[in-house]
Amino acid sequence: MVAALSPATCSRLVLKIGSSLLVDPNGEVRRDWLQTVVDDIAAARAAGQQIVIVSSGAIALGARRLGLAKGGRASLEDAQAAAATGQIALSQCWADLLAAKGMTAAQILVTLDDLEDRRRYLNAAATLERLLGLGVVPVINENDSVATEEIRFGDNDRLAARIAQASGAQAVVLLSDVDGLFTADPSRDPNAERIPHVARVDSRIQAMAAAESSSGMGSGGMASKIEAARIANAAGAALVIVSGLHDHPLARLAGGDCGTVFAGAETQTARKAWLAGRLTAKGRIHIDAGAAKALTSGASLLPAGATRVEGKFSRGDVVDIVAADGQTLARGLSEYDAQDAMRICGKRSEALAELLGYAPRAALIHRDHMVIL
């Protein structure tokens, strides 16, 4: 592990706690256990570490209070009502426990859209910066009560990775009901081995994540944790999946030999990291093999290399760049709206001015506004 990115010693850490750890099967907060987490947070803060908490549990807590079936996840309407009800209890609990240790809590509820929109993302980042500067402990959750099915994180793993990016944290710790990524599902296969370190999230790692375990209470399985690792790593932050089934889980993590660390060695500009971490795109531009090769060696995407354009987007919107084999190779900000992009698709640079009726831009997607995934 890169020392500077160690969750135990880094200067800013995002700590995500899942629903199944926070809430017992009867729908009550597991206060005794949570107290040990808060003790760890107090110790980390005393050692100079700033901590941002991403806390799940609103839906599980609210479902119990409202008597809703399936832990409040039977429908989006139920989840929204449960979240609205449970969030009050959840934030009260955090405020009480942190205050008892001399810390001030602040609550931020965000939707996917808040972080996908660059301006709102920067606003959230500025608020986090100010809160941390004031010595406050931000407690964050998705604003489930207003999020709709198509535009929600749905799980707090990826939200935590996005928050790490927005807050400039060096590491993310996902407290989970499993002690990291295993070669197979440890609850079914006695030969499953924990993978202590992952240098890069590739297709082999994604395949292992498919053999996931899930408590049924939260919504983030191993696949969403791996996606979170990819987002965090793209922003230069390490991500750790580690068991929270023990008391004092952060102290245990600092002791070593547990969990899986996804090292975040790669760093990109903040804008590129934001792009790579986005979960939605307005359209897709398909490209040929020549363009794919050029892109991976650092070139811009020219209209000649595009084969097909899908979606409705304006100039400056985020689009995915898809290779001939269907893989999303890169993502970038389009220099043209969808209509014009379609008109110039596959055309040589010399032909563009006449086709468009105005001076063409240097590229369809400029390399400064593009990130290879």
Nearest Cα neighbor of 115 from 152, 145, 150 is 152
* 220 vs 249 by CB, closer to ligand GLU: 220
144 forms part of the interface with ligand GLU (CB under 6 A): yes
Please state the three-class secondary structure of 38-71 as a single string.
HHHHHHHHHCCCEEEEEECCHHHHHHHHHCCCHH
143 forms part of the interface with ligand GLU (CB under 6 A): no
For residues 291 and 295, what is the distance between their CA atoms, to the nearest angstrom? 6
Min separation Cβ 116 and ligand GLU, Å: 17
219 forms part of the interface with ligand GLU (CB under 6 A): yes
Number of residues in contact with ligand GLU under rule CB under 6 A: 15
- For residue 311, give the DSSP letter: E
Nearest Cα neighbor of 194 from 218, 172, 156, 222 is 222
Min separation Cβ 295 and ligand GLU, Å: 34
40 forms part of the interface with ligand GLU (CB under 6 A): no
Interface stretch with ligand GLU, choices 137-145, 247-255, 346-354, 360-368 (CB under 6 A): 137-145
Pairing mode, if any, of strands 12-17 and 318-322?
Answer: unpaired
How many CB atoms are located within 10 Å of the residue 119 CB? 6
Which pair of tokens denotes residue 271? Answer: 């804008």
Min separation Cβ 338 and ligand GLU, Å: 33
Interface stretch with ligand GLU, choices 139-147, 181-189, 313-321, 335-343 (CB under 6 A): 139-147
The residues, any chain, with a CB within 8 Å of residue 74's CB and separated by 6 or more, are 68
| 19-38: contacts with ligand GLU (CB under 6 A) | 19
Nearest Cα neighbor of 52 from 17, 88, 76 is 17
> Which member of 7, 71, 180, 218 binds ligand GLU (CB under 6 A)?
218
Min separation Cβ 93 and ligand GLU, Å: 12
Min separation Cβ 37 and ligand GLU, Å: 16
- For residue 4, give the DSSP letter: G
For residues 173 and 14, what is the distance between their CA atoms, to the nearest angstrom? 6
176 forms part of the interface with ligand GLU (CB under 6 A): no
59 forms part of the interface with ligand GLU (CB under 6 A): yes
Nearest Cα neighbor of 170 from 51, 47, 16 is 51
* 33 vs 313 by CB, closer to ligand GLU: 33
Min separation Cβ 218 and ligand GLU, Å: 3
> Which member of 6, 49, 56, 111 binds ligand GLU (CB under 6 A)?
56
- In 3-state terms the chain splits into helix, strand, coil percentages (rounded to 5) of 45, 20, 40
For residues 163 and 330, what is the distance between their CA atoms, to the nearest angstrom? 22
78 forms part of the interface with ligand GLU (CB under 6 A): no
For residues 163 and 282, what is the distance between their CA atoms, to the nearest angstrom? 22
259 forms part of the interface with ligand GLU (CB under 6 A): no
305 forms part of the interface with ligand GLU (CB under 6 A): no
Interface stretch with ligand GLU, choices 34-42, 218-226, 280-288, 322-330 (CB under 6 A): 218-226
Min separation Cβ 58 and ligand GLU, Å: 3
287 forms part of the interface with ligand GLU (CB under 6 A): no
156 forms part of the interface with ligand GLU (CB under 6 A): yes
Question: Which whole-number Å values give the CA distances from 38 to 109, 248, 300, in the listed order?
Answer: 20, 8, 48
> Which member of 7, 138, 180, 220 binds ligand GLU (CB under 6 A)?
220
141 forms part of the interface with ligand GLU (CB under 6 A): yes
Chain contacts with ligand GLU (rule: CB under 6 A)? 19, 56-60, 83, 141-142, 144, 155-156, 218-220
